[in-house]
Amino acid sequence: MSESDQDQHASEDAAAPQPRQVALVGNPNTGKTTLFNRLCGLRAQTANYPGSTAEIRIGRCGRSTPPLEIVDLPGIYGMDLDLPESRMCRDCLDGRLDQTPDAILIVIDATAPARGLALAIAAIGRRLPTVIALNFADVAARRGISFDAKKLAEKMGVPVVAVSGRTGRGIDDLVTALREATPGRAALPRPDLSNAERKAWIDEAIAESMGGRDAVGSSRDSVYDRLDKAFTHPIIGLAVFVAVMGGLFWTIFSLAGIPMDLIDVLFEKFGGLAAAVIPEGAIRDLVVDGIIGGVAGTVVFLPQILILFFLLALLEDTGYLARAAFVMDRVMCRFGLPGQAFVPMLSSHACALPGIMSARLVPDRDDRLATILVAPFMSCTARLPVYVLLIGLLFDGSPWLAGFAFAGCYLLGAAAALLSALLARRTILPGRSRPMVLELPEYRRPSIIAALLVSWDRGLVFIKNAGTVILGIVIVMWWLSAYPKADTPDAAIALRTQAVEIADVAPADAENLEAQADSLELEAQQAGSFAGRIGDFAQPLFAPLGADRTLTVGILTSFLAREVFVSSLAVLQGGGDDVDDEESVLQLVRDARRPDGSVLFNTATAASMLVFFVLAMQCLPTLAVTRRETGSWKWPALQFAWMTGLAWIVAAVVFATVNAMSGSA
């Protein structure tokens, strides 16, 4: 590029309008995140500000010139509360995190505006350009609630825009208001009003600008009240929760089959193409067996990830998950966990890292430590590929049984977490936990678009891991399994010679002899490779779980990251080598054999491995975060020893029991 071109590009960059940063503030359950997704779409990223206690999402809204940079802050009930979320919002608005925002967007629930207006008053007092978004305007209209945005704007001293994050109503008007916003006047007549006077002022503002609720709204409220009684009932609510989770996992198994097969076929074709183009040798083996075969063993489970988070987002959007939290809070308190632990435990279903970090919200030290220690028991997305493989082996062709087995894995992890918490609170962390105060959100129609965005976001994280951490591990696994090269066994040479001799008269028998020779060569390579030697050394430790050398290597690799278990097995079995067989990576693992010719995953071994992966601590980043959050290596060491030891004991019992019942070796 010439010097004049560089100067031109530099001048264009300097002339480009800088984005206007907008802090998105609101109470929980006001649709703040849905509105954020509507404004930013897929143009969002997650960030950790220095000193912050939680993740903050940052997105860019391109509807405006200059563009808007939206900072989605945690939901808060008050600006001045002594809570981590409130401190983060104060620090952001005061410029202590990064920079002082150019404007504030306050999101208020139009169906219940009182608390939101109190928060808006505190934000307006900072004298930054502020806009109020009355969200759920469509829901308010259906319930017969009317409001005059202009009157409310006059009362508050800042622009007020009626919007619906779910449908997109009013979004363009909101963007215009944010672009043109200027510092407003103080909303209250004087700043020293008492709490009673402040509440009276807010009630007056609502009365002047909003009103009306028709009979339909009242009828709906009575229906919602009856639903709440059922969903929060100690027995009925728990039964509904189990049924909903079972149905959710049945749906995953029923819908994911076709896209999984398509991904399998794509990787088969891709591997065949690579094998045809790249000359025979170490490079081709690395690309076909290591990279393509290994990554395929993980990416093939992407449909389950997408469907799971899509359905969970729909359930959360309806308001049901908050009711489920209320039911589970009663259970958790009996096992020594505080009510506030539900959020970290629920977050750990996505990943234990944010779950452990969000345990900072638990005020009591012992409650917080108990939560951190047991949060990794909750089944995270990294376990899903292993669950899908093993449950598919155990319940092939039965989506209902597979779905309930999937739900059973989640319940087993939750039960282990609760029992471990009870043991910890009776021994190393004695004391009583605090109950949770929970606000139940309104029932709402879920947004398909918002759920798709959540699903897509989690899918991108999964693919990113497959392209970075998992790719690195499978390449190392390929090298360990490919070197040193073993000599071809004499028996394999004899079989190939015999196959050539009878190829013309008995092609089927010749093909069978070639397959036997391939199996002997693979066994010799596995036994002589670095991975095989490691597996032989550690195999006695995992023999009570039904593991042979290959499974032992897969288990050891999974301690770096659970999701590479399937990929490791695919690489160890020579995934991608026999491209002419049109055999998928999953089928390759399912058909894997032991040195004696028996199936690698018999019923007892599959059940044992499933239980082991539900309970074991197999994530180095989780241990590192536990060390950072607790300030000592004692707690992650205890966490690893307890979870892995418990997993080994229970898996060994399962293997012995199923083996005895089925009579299989």
Q: What is the DSSP letter of 486?
A: P
- Write out the DSSP string of 441-472: PPP-PPPHHHHHHHHHHHHHHHHHHHHTHHHH
Winning range, highest mean pLDDT, from 292-306, 318-332, 376-390: 376-390
Determine the pLDDT at residue 216.
Answer: 41
Is residue 429 classed as helix, strand or coil in its secondary structure? coil
Domain boundaries, the chain: 13-213, 236-426
Beta strand 103-109 pairing with 130-135: parallel
Q: Which helix (H) or strand (E) holds 89?
A: helix 84-93
609 vs 199, residue with greater confidence:
609
Dihedral of CA atoms 355, 359, 360, 365 in degrees, nearest 10, equals -150
Confidence band of 585 (pLDDT split at 50, 70, 90): low
Nearest alpha-carbon partner for 598 in 540, 535, 519, 531: 519
**Lowest-confidence pick of 131-135, 142-146, 192-196, 422-426:** 192-196
Confidence band of 570 (pLDDT split at 50, 70, 90): low
Nearest alpha-carbon partner for 566 in 616, 629, 613, 626: 613
65 vs 1, residue with greater confidence:
65
- For residues 410 and 384, what is the distance between their CA atoms, to the nearest angstrom? 10
- For residues 398 and 379, what is the distance between their CA atoms, to the nearest angstrom? 22
Nearest alpha-carbon partner for 533 in 550, 557, 555, 558: 550
pLDDT at 200 over 60: yes
Determine the pLDDT at residue 187.
Answer: 65
420 vs 533, residue with greater confidence:
420
- For residues 92 and 87, what is the distance between their CA atoms, to the nearest angstrom? 9
pLDDT at 132 over 90: yes
98-112 pLDDT, tens per residue? 788 999 999 999 888
13-213 has CATH 3.40.50.300 classification? yes
If you average pLDDT over residues 196-206, what whole number do you get? 82
208-248 pLDDT, tens per residue? 887 644 434 445 556 878 888 888 888 898 889 888 877 88
**Lowest-confidence pick of 142-151, 442-451, 564-573, 651-660:** 564-573
Q: Which helix (H) or strand (E) holds 56?
A: strand 56-61
Task: Collect all residues with Cβ–Cβ distance below 8 Å to 412 and sequence separation of at least 6.
Answer: 611, 614, 615
Peptide bond between residue 66 and the one before it cis (omega within 30 degrees of 0): yes
Classify residue 543 by burial, with Cβ atoms within 10 Å: 0-12, 13-18, 19+.
middle
Q: CA separation (Å) from 497 to 180, 493, 524, 633? A: 83, 6, 18, 59
Q: What is the DSSP letter of 350?
A: T
pLDDT at 88 over 50: yes
437 vs 377, residue with greater confidence:
377
Residue 130's φ and ψ, nearest 5 degrees, are -135, 140
Nearest alpha-carbon partner for 320 in 441, 404, 219: 441
The two three-digit tokens of residue 484, written as one number: 């040193």
40-57 pLDDT, tens per residue? 875 555 443 333 435 577
520-561 pLDDT, tens per residue? 676 676 667 787 788 788 889 999 998 888 788 888 877 766
Between CA 391 and CA 414, with CA 381 as vertex, the angle to 5 degrees is 75
If you average pLDDT over residues 383-398, what whole number do you get? 84
22-44 pLDDT, tens per residue? 999 998 888 888 888 888 875 55
267 vs 471, residue with greater confidence:
267
Determine the pLDDT at residue 420.
Answer: 95
- Write out the DSSP string of 618-657: -BHHHHHHHHHHHSSSHHHHHHHHHHHHHHHHHHHHHHHH
Determine the pLDDT at residue 381.
Answer: 76
- pTM score above 0.75: no
Classify residue 170 by burial, with Cβ atoms within 10 Å: 0-12, 13-18, 19+.
buried
Determine the pLDDT at residue 608.
Answer: 94
If you average pLDDT over residues 330-341, what whole number do you get? 80
| Edge-to-edge order in the sheet of strand 20-26 | 44-47, 56-61, 68-72, 20-26, 103-109, 130-135, 160-162
357 vs 135, residue with greater confidence:
135
Q: What is the DSSP letter of 339?
A: G
- Write out the DSSP string of 545-589: GT--HHHHHHHHHHTTBTTHHHHHHHHHTTTTS-GGGT--HHHHH
Nearest alpha-carbon partner for 101 in 123, 119, 128: 128
- For residues 185 and 233, what is the distance between their CA atoms, to the nearest angstrom? 47
pLDDT at 3 over 70: no
- For residues 329 and 434, what is the distance between their CA atoms, to the nearest angstrom? 10
Nearest alpha-carbon partner for 206 in 108, 114, 105: 114
Determine the pLDDT at residue 545.
Answer: 92
- For residues 140 and 108, what is the distance between their CA atoms, to the nearest angstrom? 12
- For residues 314 and 447, what is the distance between their CA atoms, to the nearest angstrom? 7
pLDDT above 70 coverage of the chain, percent: 82
Confidence band of 582 (pLDDT split at 50, 70, 90): very low
Beta strand 210-211 pairing with 56-61: unpaired
Q: What is the DSSP letter of 591?
A: T
- For residues 31 and 28, what is the distance between their CA atoms, to the nearest angstrom? 8
pLDDT at 354 over 70: no
Determine the pLDDT at residue 192.
Answer: 66
- For residues 549 and 196, what is the distance between their CA atoms, to the nearest angstrom? 72
**CB-CB contact of 26 with 116 (8 Å):** yes
Nearest alpha-carbon partner for 319 in 446, 138, 142: 446
pLDDT at 133 over 90: yes
**Lowest-confidence pick of 185-199, 374-388, 445-459:** 185-199
**CB-CB contact of 375 with 344 (8 Å):** yes
Count of beta carbons in the 10 Å neighbourhood of residue 559: 17
Classify residue 119 by burial, with Cβ atoms within 10 Å: 0-12, 13-18, 19+.
buried
- For residues 459 and 465, what is the distance between their CA atoms, to the nearest angstrom? 10
Classify residue 533 by burial, with Cβ atoms within 10 Å: 0-12, 13-18, 19+.
middle
Ramachandran bin of 127, using left for φ above 0, alpha for ψ from -120 to 50, beta for the remaining angles: left
**Lowest-confidence pick of 61-75, 538-552, 599-613:** 61-75
Task: Please report how many Cα atoms fall inside a 13 Å half-sphere around the Cα of residue 652, on the Cβ side.
Answer: 11
N-terminal to C-terminal alpha carbon distance within the chain: 69
pLDDT at 664 over 60: no
If you average pLDDT over residues 204-209, what whole number do you get? 82
Task: Please report how many Cα atoms fall inside a 13 Å half-sphere around the Cα of residue 568, on the Cβ side.
Answer: 28
Looking at the DSSP bridge assignments, the partners of residue 50 are none
Q: Find where tokens 């809070």 sit.
A: 329
Determine the pLDDT at residue 15.
Answer: 52
Mean of per-residue pLDDT scores for the chain:
79
Q: Find where tokens 């205890």 sit.
A: 638
Residues in the chain: 665
272-307 pLDDT, tens per residue? 888 888 888 778 878 877 778 767 766 777 887 788
**CB-CB contact of 244 with 285 (8 Å):** no
pLDDT at 646 over 80: yes
pLDDT at 577 over 60: no
